[in-house]
Amino acid sequence: MTIRKFIIAAATMLVSMSALAQVESAGAVRRRTPGDKKPQTNAGQVTERMQSFYEHKDAGDADLVWTRDIIRQVDLKKDQNAPLYFPEDVIDGQENLFRLILNLVLQGKIPAYEYLDGREVFTDQYKIKVGEMLDRFGIYAQPAKGSTDKNPRYEIAEADVPTNQVLNYYVIEKWEFDKRSNQTKTRILAVCPILNRIGDYGEETRYPMFWVKFDQLRPFLAQQYVFLNDDNNLARYSLDDYFTLGMYDGDIVKTKNLRNLSMMQMFPDPDDLRAAQDSIDHRLRHFGGNLWVPTREEFLAQQEAREAAEAAQGGELPDRDEVSASGDTKTNVRATRNTRAKAKARKARKPKYSSGSSSSGAERSVRRRKK
């Protein structure tokens, strides 16, 4: 009888202990370590409606009067382009441009196209194979969860993402004048990240990786906000605003031309190259304004500037006694130059006659003489 009671008591104790262990395991809370938390991004939160909102419908040839395609090189070492490089690591769901583009391409959310050195074609024929692209640039990746042979997906460890090597971008811009709105508009067609790697002897080599169409990238850029000013920590602008508002600074490296030559090939001299880039940039930004007739105030200002330039080239300066005591030197200089220029013009228009011709003309009368 005593043995029976002992067995029953031991069994009851074992059941109670096992039930208590299950309750403790079910309600236990384990503190997360920094390694458990994965960087969260906003790259996947794009619907078809959002995508259609950012798609651009090209204007017909009948509505366009003038177009020009150029390629700019955006150097991330410039302070104005720093928002494209930072942050180097994912912070509070925010990431830099290259990490965003690479993750979208690896997950198959946007297609990437081959870099063809000037004659870029964005068709299915020139879509890249992501695995071959990663092998070409020596980027280690492994198949992601849900990857198949038909739809491959890849993932890269944070330490293997070469964000610090992408120091430049190529940006294709399309400038066009639409006669429907009588405005000059600028659209970005595609973006290409460029790897910068140092060789064995210290030389720097640039490798353009691939092109992504800007319209397909815009919904994801709109969710990434950037700091533009260290004095104001409010991120009021997104990466989409940064591009569409033209906040980046890039040099023109190529314009669409018949021979498919770059600016460096057409202008080998550095001074000539810089002058050509500035000239093209000036014409692009002032094309729309040059189509309109200036107002009366603008015309008078232009005329006054031309007269002042002509007077300056002639070396004419006002006398000291012509300058008023009030010290308004600029006004008196301008008035003196205008007076002298008008005097020269009147003198140039005055006919000159020789002495012989004037005397013969005076002797002859046009009156009818009496017979």
- Domain limits at 145? 48-269
Task: Please tell me whether residue 179 adopts helix, strand or coil conformation.
Answer: coil
Q: What is the pTM of this model?
A: 0.68
Say if residue 135 is in the same domain as residue 198: yes
Q: Tell me if 221 is assigned to some domain.
A: yes
Q: Tell me if 346 is assigned to some domain.
A: no
Say if residue 118 is in the same domain as residue 176: yes
Residue pLDDT tens, the chain, 371 long: 566 666 666 667 666 666 555 544 444 444 445 444 444 444 456 666 666 556 656 666 667 788 999 999 999 999 999 999 999 888 888 899 999 999 999 999 999 999 998 788 999 999 999 999 999 999 999 999 888 888 899 999 988 999 999 999 999 999 998 877 778 889 999 999 999 999 888 899 999 999 999 999 999 999 999 888 778 777 789 999 999 999 999 999 999 999 999 999 999 999 999 999 999 999 998 887 777 677 888 889 989 999 999 888 876 554 444 444 444 444 444 555 555 555 555 555 545 444 444 444 444 444 444 44
Say if residue 167 is in the same domain as residue 310: no
Say if residue 257 is in the same domain as residue 303: no
Say if residue 257 is in the same domain as residue 127: yes
Q: Tell me if 288 is assigned to some domain.
A: no
Domain boundary among 227, 251, 269: 269
Q: Which two tokens stand for residue 67?
A: 């177009």
Say if residue 182 is in the same domain as residue 318: no
Q: What is the DSSP string of 329-366?
A: HHHHHHHHHHHHHHHHHHHHHS----HHHHHHHHH---
Q: Tell me if 368 is assigned to some domain.
A: no
Q: Tell me if 29 is assigned to some domain.
A: no
- Which amino acid does the sequence have at 319? D
Q: Tell me if 304 is assigned to some domain.
A: yes
Domain count, the chain: 2
Q: Tell me if 73 is assigned to some domain.
A: yes
Contacts of 206 (CB under 8 A, 6+ apart): 168, 194, 195, 196
Q: Tell me if 105 is assigned to some domain.
A: yes
Whether 230 contacts 220, CB under 8 Å: no
